[in-house]
Amino acid sequence: MNFKSLFGLSMCAMIVSACSIDTQPNYFVTVDLPADRNNTMAYLLSWDDGAKIDSALVTGGQAKFSGHTGDPFIGRLVVDGARGPIFIVEQGEVNISPEGKVSGTPLNDKLASDKARMNELETEFGKLNTADSIQSVQSEKLKNAYDSIPVRAYNENKGNTLGLYWFLQLAYEMDLAHIDAALAADKSLASSQRVKKLREARLALAETNEGKHYKDFTVTYDGKAEKFSDYVKPGRYTLVDFWASWCGPCIRQTKVIKELYNRYKDSGLDVVGVAVWDEPANTLKAIKSHGLDWPCIINAQNVPTDLYGISGIPCIILINPDGIIVSRDKQDQALIDDVDKAMADYAASQEFTVPFENTVSVTPAAAAPKHAATDTATVTTTDNSVIF
């Protein structure tokens, strides 16, 4: 064998070896799960674009994933259709406890530390009586400390995967101008599909906000096409609830919606649910178990959320008899106040007088009692861990 042949064989061996090293697993994710999850499927998704990265059968109370990554990325765990923790997929061994706590690698440990501190501050805040002047001062300090953590964490990690995670926690409260300013200041954000969709959502929100006419859409489920406009009846108010069965705050708001529905269903108010980001079977089960008596559009998924710029649920809108959105993204007492006012105005507008003995008077309904505000939290695609 001549020198050229030996050299060629050596180069081939080096190339094969290099390719082998580049494809060998360098991250390992071990998820400990309750025993009742055995024999179900677990999935590792990219949180940024929703792509399915890997799947595993849950056996022995565990799901295990492994693969190769150059740069870290944000992952999401889904088990048996239920959404689990968001974490950083990076080189090393990542461990997820039955309670959903993530540990084992540098970025995940930093993320867990900041989340733990936020949970502590939230717990301390919940113990205070904000009506007390002294405790009110302390509650404001706790709130400021809580709000400062994502800002500090983003600034410390600007340009890396953990920075993207923390930016998105902040971005859901930003308007379009602030998002554009952030994109100009941090070029790394432009590659994120989630940031792109959030910006698009802000544009859509501007077209479907209070004062705008509602937009129609069509959803097909079980071979039947349903138009949103079929549920928005001219001459009546329509309260629309964009929700999902897995969303805790959504379910809590159905209690408020039930009260409003029962109070005004015979006085000019219709209610329609629109199930988004959910499995139809889970939606139907939730409708039955929670006694939701109003009609619901099933399997809407991203159709209305893209159209209306909805980044978090529940999203509740009130449409007036002319098809104009008069309230959006209100919950609890704020929602009650908007509906009470709208229905009082509606009742007043229905008063009429007919000459002679056929005079009929319709008087406004009594003002509804005020209800104390409860949990006003909103679930986003960033915070909906429900399997643990």
- The pLDDT tens digits for 296-333 are 999 999 999 999 999 899 999 999 999 999 999 999 99
Q: Is it the case that residue 10 has pLDDT exceeding 60?
A: no
Residue 11 lies in a domain: no
Over the stretch 132-185, which tens digit does the pLDDT of each residue have? 888 989 999 999 999 999 999 999 999 999 999 999 999 988 999 999 999 999
* Among candidate residues 207, 236, 265, the one where a domain is terminated: 207
pLDDT-based confidence at residue 130 (cuts at 50, 70, 90): confident
Domain harbouring 299, CATH code? 3.40.30.10
At residue 356, the pLDDT reads: 39
Give one word for 92, left, alpha or beta, with left for phi > 0 and alpha for psi -120 to 50: left
Q: What integer is the mean pLDDT of 251-264? A: 97
At residue 186, the pLDDT reads: 95
| Same-domain pairing of 170 and 257 | no
Residue 194 lies in a domain: yes
pLDDT-based confidence at residue 4 (cuts at 50, 70, 90): low
Q: Is it the case that residue 352 has pLDDT exceeding 50?
A: yes
Residue 14 lies in a domain: no
Over the stretch 365-387, which tens digit does the pLDDT of each residue have? 333 333 333 333 334 433 433 44
Q: What integer is the mean pLDDT of 82-90? A: 94
Residue 315 lies in a domain: yes
Residue 17 lies in a domain: no
pLDDT-based confidence at residue 351 (cuts at 50, 70, 90): confident
Residue 4 lies in a domain: no
At residue 350, the pLDDT reads: 84
pLDDT-based confidence at residue 81 (cuts at 50, 70, 90): confident
| Same-domain pairing of 124 and 145 | yes
Tokens 């993207």 found at: 164
| Same-domain pairing of 134 and 268 | no
| Same-domain pairing of 152 and 86 | no
pLDDT-based confidence at residue 83 (cuts at 50, 70, 90): confident
| Same-domain pairing of 273 and 303 | yes
| Same-domain pairing of 373 and 229 | yes
| Same-domain pairing of 197 and 260 | no
Q: Which domain holds residue 325?
A: 218-380
Residue 224 lies in a domain: yes
Residue 12 lies in a domain: no
| Same-domain pairing of 229 and 318 | yes
| % of the chain beyond a pLDDT of 90 | 80
Distance CA 137, CA 133 (A): 7
Q: What integer is the mean pLDDT of 232-252? A: 96
The beta strand positions in the chain, using DSSP E, are 27-32, 41-46, 52-57, 62-67, 73-79, 82-89, 92-96, 102-103, 218-221, 224-227, 237-243, 269-275, 296-297, 312-313, 315-319, 325-328, 379-380
Residue 171 in tokens = 């971005």
Under a CB-based contact definition with an 8 Å cutoff, are residues 76 and 84 in contact?
yes
Give one word for 237, left, alpha or beta, with left for phi > 0 and alpha for psi -120 to 50: beta
Q: What angle do CA 157, 161, 163 make, to 5 degrees?
A: 35
Predicted structure pTM score: 0.72
| Same-domain pairing of 168 and 80 | no
Mean pLDDT of the chain: 88
* Among candidate residues 182, 207, 232, the one where a domain is terminated: 207
Domain harbouring 84, CATH code? 2.60.40.10
* Among candidate residues 207, 227, 256, the one where a domain is terminated: 207
Q: Is it the case that residue 362 has pLDDT exceeding 90?
A: no
At residue 12, the pLDDT reads: 52
Residue 164 in tokens = 């993207």
Over the stretch 43-58, which tens digit does the pLDDT of each residue have? 999 999 999 999 999 9
Distance CA 346, CA 327 (A): 15
| Same-domain pairing of 172 and 82 | no
| Same-domain pairing of 195 and 292 | no
Q: What angle do CA 70, 87, 95 make, to 5 degrees?
A: 90
Q: How many domains does the chain contain in total? A: 3
Tokens 């949990």 found at: 375
| Same-domain pairing of 160 and 282 | no
pLDDT-based confidence at residue 20 (cuts at 50, 70, 90): low
